[in-house]
C-alpha cells in the first residue's frame, strides 16, 4: 500500500515501465522493511521486482504451513472459551485475517454461523433468539 501511495507500486509488477527513480525508491523501501539477515542476502539485488519475487518465493510456502493451523483454530473457536465478547471477537478477526492472507475469503454469514454454533447447549434459547433477530453482519451481532 505504501508503494502505491508513493506512486511506486508499479515497480514490483511484471512488465512495468517505471523510472529508475521510482525503482530506486521502491527498492529502498523494501530494503528498509526486511530483516537485517535478509538485507545482507539480497544486498546485490538492484531491481525491486526481482527482490519482491524472491521474497515472495521464499515465503509463499508459509501459507501451506499456516493454513491448516488456522483452519483448526477456526473450527475449534468457541465463544465460551473467552472471558469477554471483545476477546472472542478479537480472536475471530485474527483468525479471519490469517485465512484471508492464505486466500480464503470469510463471509459475514460464516462468522455468524460459527458464532451461533459455538453457544453452549444450555444457551440454545439464546442462540435461537439471536438467529431470529436476522443479523446480516457479524459486527451487528457482536455490538
**pLDDT at residue 52 tops 80:** yes
Considering the entire predicted model, what is its pTM?
0.67
Structural domain boundaries in the chain: 2-59, 62-142
Element (H, E) at 130: helix 124-132
- The pairs formed by 24-27 with CB atoms below 8 angstroms and a separation of 24 or more are 27/51
How far apart (Å, rounded) are the C-alpha atoms in residues 127 and 112? 11
Percent of the chain topping pLDDT 90: 60
- Mean pLDDT for all residues in the chain: 90
At 64 the pLDDT is 86
pLDDT tier at 86, thresholds 50, 70, 90: very high
At 125 the pLDDT is 84
How far apart (Å, rounded) are the C-alpha atoms in residues 139 and 76? 20
Amino acid at each position: 500500500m505504501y508503494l502505491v501511495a508513493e506512486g511506486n507500486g508499479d515497480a514490483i509488477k511484471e512488465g512495468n515501465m517505471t523510472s529508475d527513480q521510482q525503482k530506486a525508491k521502491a527498492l529502498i523501501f523494501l530494503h528498509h522493511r526486511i530483516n537485517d539477515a535478509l538485507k545482507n542476502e539480497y544486498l546485490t539485488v538492484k531491481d525491486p521486482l526481482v527482490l519482491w519475487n524472491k521474497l515472495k518465493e521464499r515465503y509463499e510456502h508459509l501459507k501451506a504451513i499456516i493454513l491448516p493451523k488456522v483452519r483448526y483454530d477456526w473450527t475449534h473457536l468457541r465463544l465460551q472459551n473467552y472471558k469477554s465478547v471483545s476477546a472472542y471477537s478479537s480472536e475471530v478477526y485474527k483468525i479471519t485475517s490469517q485465512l484471508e492472507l492464505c486466500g480464503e475469503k470469510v463471509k459475514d454469514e460464516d462468522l455468524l454461523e460459527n458464532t451461533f454454533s459455538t453457544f453452549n447447549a444450555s444457551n440454545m434459547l439464546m442462540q435461537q433468539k439471536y438467529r431470529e433477530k436476522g443479523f446480516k453482519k457479524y459486527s451487528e451481532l457482536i455490538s
